[in-house]
Amino acid sequence: MPAEMLSSSVLEALPAVEHRDPELLGGSYLGARGQDGTTVRRPDGTELPGSTSPVAGVFGWADDACGTRELADALLVDALRRPPTPAEVTAFGRQVLANLPADSFTLPRRTVEAWLTQRNASLAA
């Protein structure tokens, strides 16, 4: 069902989605921590490759640790459709992912794209 057709009561029942704006539903990466590790879903609802593992914390956020760099790499590969540079991974992890809530997050795809556009513009200047 398209997000615009969801009733407000259905939207209120989605605790994992911090931003309940219907335009963002289906257009965001969703991450959650659980007892079995972390899971990150793409905007289309499929799991981001590498996001499910029996090792807790393979992907991380809300800090500047190794798991955050792993997630930055995976998100940028998904958004860019090419391997990101090490500088892109480090900067995205520090500037975007390190500032996300620790337990779960909603990251609109357009935020990732805007960050990439802004970074490329600042490097070209």
33 three-state secondary structure: strand
Q: What is the mean pLDDT of the chain?
A: 76
Q: What gap in Å lies between CA 2 and CA 78, rounded to an integer? A: 23
Length of the chain: 125
User: If pLDDT is split at 50, 70 and 90, which confidence band does 76 have?
Assistant: very high
Tell me if 96 sits within 8 A of 109, measured CB to CB: no
Tell me: pLDDT of 72 over 60: yes
Confidence (pLDDT) at 65: 83
Domain ranges of the chain: 3-110
Ramachandran assignment for 45, one of left (phi > 0), alpha (psi -120 to 50 degrees), beta (any other): left
Give 25-68 pLDDT, tens digit per residue.
Answer: 449 999 998 887 888 999 988 888 865 444 444 788 888 788 89
